Amino acid sequence: MKIAMAQLNPTVGDFEGNLALIEKTLRSLDGARPDLVVFPEMFLTGYPPQDLLERDWFVERADRALAETLEISRSHAGVGILVGTISRNEDAVGKGLRNAAFLVKDGAVVAERHKILLPTYDVFDEARYFDPADRSDVVPFGDEILGISICEDAWSDPSLWRRRIYASDPIEEQARDGATVFVNISASPFSVGKDEVRRRLFTGHARRHGGTFVVVNQVGGNDELLFDGRSLCVAPDGRLLSYLAGFREEVAVVDTASEEPGVGFPPDDPVASVREALVTGLRDYVGKCGFSKVVLGLSGGIDSAVVCALAADALGPANVLGITMPSPYSSPGSIEDSRKLAENLGVSFEIVPISEIYESYMDTLEPHLEGREIGITEENIQARVRGNILMAHSNEYGSLLLSTGNKSELAVGYCTLYGDMSGGLGVISDVPKTMVYGLARCINAEREIIPEATIEKPPSAELRPDQQDQDTLPPYDVLDRILELYVDDGASLAAIVREGFDEATVRWVVGAVDANEYKRRQAAPGLRVTSKAFGTGRRMPIAARYQH
């Protein structure tokens, strides 16, 4: 069977645009004459549509989109189309919707199958919207018997989980029913290292069940979630018959009967992959939200430099404005490093001094702060002045303001509400500081883009004389490892100490993470690249009192 894998980038709610992608793909395949063209999970609606699924008009529009897909199929006689969308569940009890896959051909529905396993962990909340199916019967199609599954249905593998979370294994059930070709339509979000997990999972299915396994995964960014694609086809003996590129739309035709040696599995560099993910997510977030230009503050530090470089890559230098805002504590080197970065990238650059504005604030507040030590209040005023200036540019010119804080800072609250946390998108808010340095080196691999002085100098907020981050925080390599254990792995304080970390340091980090939940609740949406990002995938109480 010749199967076309359509690894594409749908937009949530853009039924017309998503249908146009189907039509364009089918036209491009007219010469190849595939038996089946496979599109990702919930392709017609875009994934994830979240509470739009609770709007009747949205469901009605999805119904019409499916009808329009049938009309499109009439113009491509003999070609099967497998596409993800939603369908109504007419049972008297339940949510009333299902996550569905429709197999259509020559203007008619050949089969309708529904998702069985509805994930409710991390960023997923599908049981909020959908009713699960009991099973997914195999479908005779051409000379093969198809086992059609939807994303999570293929992930009930005990080796993946500390505790098995599903009682059934839909793929195993389809194999018992005689499936010869397994097709999984997917919207599986990216995180570092997940490509290797997927390869092992689907290679294992193909070998174990003696059938060809085809996986078509969405690509692109929708809000915080980034989808890397990397669709694949695995032969029954484990050969990779096809492996599509990451973070790019691609359509490839594979012959499931191929005796070719197969393709290699390209080794993935984690830092380079995160860079691709962030560029993709930034480009899609800006474009899908209706913006074309961005603005950000340039401090001369590594975080803002990396974000600026990513923005220039994603949107083009002409669409990026960097503003440096020196205060009484800014070093001349920081201003010069910002200027040099802008020149290297070719982005627009402005200098807006804030010393007079800051002094005006202090004069106004002096009667109310008299007799109190100068400290965090005065530091935060500078950050908030900068946030206001950046938001003024955003308002005036319709540019999206990018927040430049990293995951390490956000985790322990080393950031200022309504100051450097201002913005419409946190580009690196899920990137630990140690990885930020790796991104900088990756960006500079071919030539110096980020000034070397920016990379080499000790990190500083420059909000008081001779300030350095390490005056307040543990060394970043220590901090990031503790955060990985506590935030990503869910380890207890005692377990982290047993890893060899100083107990007082661990207590400070854990306490800071817990105490700053309220800040993170007000942060800009951030692009997710790790297995546990702050935001929709991490739900912790703010008003709570618990002991570690």
- Integer Cα distance of 480 and 499 in angstroms: 14
The position carrying tokens 């549509």 is 49
- Integer Cα distance of 499 and 494 in angstroms: 9
- The H or E element containing residue 383 is helix 376-397
The position carrying tokens 């912790």 is 540
Active-site annotation holds for 151: yes
Number of neighbours of residue 128 by Cβ within 10 angstroms: 13
HEC string for 94-127: CCCEEEEEEEEECCEEEEEEECCCCCCCCCCCHH
Contact present, 191 and 246 (Cβ < 8 Å): no
- Integer Cα distance of 332 and 355 in angstroms: 14
Q: Is 283 left (phi over 0), alpha (psi -120 to 50) or beta?
A: alpha
Active-site annotation holds for 288: no
- Which position among 2, 105, 115, 288 bears the catalytic label? 115
* Coil/strand/helix, residue 375: coil
Active-site annotation holds for 41: yes
- Integer Cα distance of 156 and 316 in angstroms: 42
Amino acid making up residue 286: V
HEC string for 132-163: CCCCCCCEEECCEEEEEEEHHHHCCCHHHCCC
Rounded to 5 degrees, what are φ and ψ at 322?
-105, 130
- Integer Cα distance of 526 and 540 in angstroms: 17
Joined tokens for residue 22: 């189907």
- Which position among 2, 105, 144, 151 bears the catalytic label? 151
- Integer Cα distance of 361 and 198 in angstroms: 54
- Which position among 41, 144, 379, 409 bears the catalytic label? 41
- Integer Cα distance of 515 and 62 in angstroms: 43
Rounded to 5 degrees, what are φ and ψ at 358?
-60, -45
Active site residues: 41, 115, 151
